[in-house]
Amino acid sequence: MPFLTRTITSENDGLSAFAAQQLRQIAASLHGLSDEQIRSTPSASGMSLGALARHVLFVSSKGLLAQLDPEFVPDSGAYDDADWAAGGILPGAVRPGDTAQVLIDELRAQADWVEKHLATADLERPVPVPDQPWFPDDLDSWPMRWVALHAVEEYARHAGHADILRESIDGKGAYELNDLADGVAAPVA
């Protein structure tokens, strides 16, 4: 997975490329970790990489994915309205069956889905503002373009947090992890 996105050709293409790339960066941060490591909380934030990945999957499925395709349904029983009301599942969110590979596969699948569907989305389509306390109550809707840009920003924030958590676990950074995830040997210094 390259550290930079591919060359883009349009606004939709750019939004889809950057949203998918940030999801894939979060997936790369999990590469090679044990079950114990994805559950560890190595920094002052109290967040584990596994919980961060689950949060991103949750926010994406309730936000961007649901807006791109109203028929989109996240995996059965994964998240409920209480999770959404709480602002997304966070610290205790890692499921008993979660492994680094399970989370990587889910993040990559979501990245592929976002890349495909955002590439053809109507960016002018009005999207209702959810009835949650952290959203403005003086707006009825915002354009799909805003939702997509907000998703890129949200994913990027969490990808940066994932970088910090991973570096706190074993010192590996994003460039090295991208190479490891792709099976590319790091250059010899």
At 145-186, the pLDDT tens digits run 998 999 999 999 999 999 999 999 999 888 888 887 888 876
In a domain, 163, yes or no: yes
| CATH, residue 110 | 1.20.120
State the pTM of this model: 0.86
Q: How far apart are CA 58 and CA 120, in angstroms?
A: 23
In a domain, 49, yes or no: yes
Q: How far apart are CA 91 and CA 46, in angstroms?
A: 7
In a domain, 189, yes or no: no
Residue for token digits 């706190």? 168
In a domain, 78, yes or no: yes
Query: Where is 71: in which H helix or E strand?
Result: none
Taking the CA atoms of the chain, what radius of gyration do you get in angstroms? 17
Report the pLDDT value the prediction gives residue 47, as an integer from 0 to 100.
86
**In the chain, which stretches have pLDDT less than 70?**
1-3, 70-92, 186-189
Q: Which domain holds residue 54?
A: 11-182
In a domain, 188, yes or no: no
In a domain, 34, yes or no: yes
Report the pLDDT value the prediction gives residue 84, as an integer from 0 to 100.
46
